[in-house]
Amino acid sequence: MDISIVVPLFNEEESLPELEAWIRKVMDTNRYSYEVIFIDDGSKDNSWKVIEKIAANNPNVKGIKFRRNYGKSAGLHTGFEAAKGDVVITMDADLQDSPDEIPELYNMIKKDGYDLVSGWKQKRYDPLSKTIPTKIYNWATRKMSGIDNLHDFNCGLKSYKNDVVKSIEVYGEMHRYIPVLAKWAGFTKIGEKVVQHQARKYGVTKFGFERFINGPLDLLSISFVGKFGKRPMHFFGTMGTISFFIGFLLLLYLSYQKIIDNTTGIAERPLFFLGMLATIIGTQLFLTGFIAELVTRNAPGRNYYQIQDTIN
């Protein structure tokens, strides 16, 4: 199979028929073998009924319905598991991503040899409340990840080699940083394509205020997991060593003053309490590192989601 198109969605009943017809037109024109996987993330409207109707008329359409809303990362993770195409393309269901971009995204993977190609919505039709945080997060992600050639990490329109989506684990809210996950997994040929961004035609944006908080936290989390996820002792051990060494030197200095200079009142000096605190914190960081080594990346059910129904 040439292409798997993964479309996570939440309450997008109006746009789905138009999106499927648009995708089918592009696929038929280019004679691709394909599948479209709609992931209904616990929609409250009639999105699933629309998907059932679409699938009845197009055998290339598949559907997975979550029993409740888990978030976009859950939808992408489940869609990636189900995808069978040589190239996997993700897009949003709100018609702001153009299926006309698919052929070039496919060729950049198959002919140009990219592992991942991310869309760049150079001209956006989003409100300032969405575009300004996006610019800040993109700048910070470039600095922290070292992926300097991407301008829009969170663009929903991306293409991947099948090996990439089978090798990364998207959980929590990490869908914003999939290129970073791919880089940490060893897929370093990451490209970018300027894509057309269209104004929302139906419904309302799902952008919420919580992204102002979750964005920086997710970036810190992905940076830590990428660098120390499989060796947390390197992080906690280093911090513990520095803290313990500082505390040890302070206490050694005070002990010298007590023994050699016969200085009194050492236990009442701020340096004494600082030295004790530093050694205790250093010891705790060491213990944290050991515990983290034991439990790292072994949490069962982290990517388990209750699926209510499937199609095809």
pLDDT in tens, 249-266: 999 988 888 888 777 777
Superfamily of domain covering 3-228: Spore Coat Polysaccharide Biosynthesis Protein SpsA; Chain A (3.90.550.10)
Mean pLDDT of the 125-131 span: 63
pLDDT confidence bin for 67, thresholds 50/70/90: very high
pLDDT the model gives residue 40 = 96
Domain definitions of the chain by residue range: 3-228, 232-295
Residue 84 gets which letter from DSSP? Answer: -
Residue 143: other Cβ atoms inside 10 A: 11
Q: Which residues 6+ apart lie within 8 Å of 142 measured at CB?
A: 148, 150
CA distance 225 to 173: 13
pLDDT the model gives residue 12 = 93
Q: Which residues 6+ apart lie within 8 Å of 241 measured at CB?
A: 282, 286
3-state DSSP assignment of residue 33: coil
88, 160 Cβ separation under 8 angstroms: yes
Cα–Cα distances in Å, from 80 out to 5, 84, 112, 170, 171?
A: 10, 9, 22, 9, 12
**Model pTM score:** 0.74
Residue 176 gets which letter from DSSP? Answer: G
3-state DSSP assignment of residue 258: helix
pLDDT the model gives residue 301 = 54
Burial of 164: CB neighbours in 10 Å, binned 0-12, 13-18, 19+: buried
Q: In whole numbers, what is the pLDDT of the chain averaged over residues?
A: 85
pLDDT in tens, 195-243: 987 766 666 665 555 555 666 666 677 667 666 766 778 888 889 999 9
CA distance 57 to 37: 15
**Dmax of the chain from CA atoms?**
92
114, 182 Cβ separation under 8 angstroms: no
Cα–Cα distances in Å, from 182 out to 185, 189, 212, 222, 273?
A: 5, 10, 24, 11, 45
Q: Which residues 6+ apart lie within 8 Å of 8 measured at CB?
A: 39, 41, 72, 75, 76, 79, 90, 92, 93
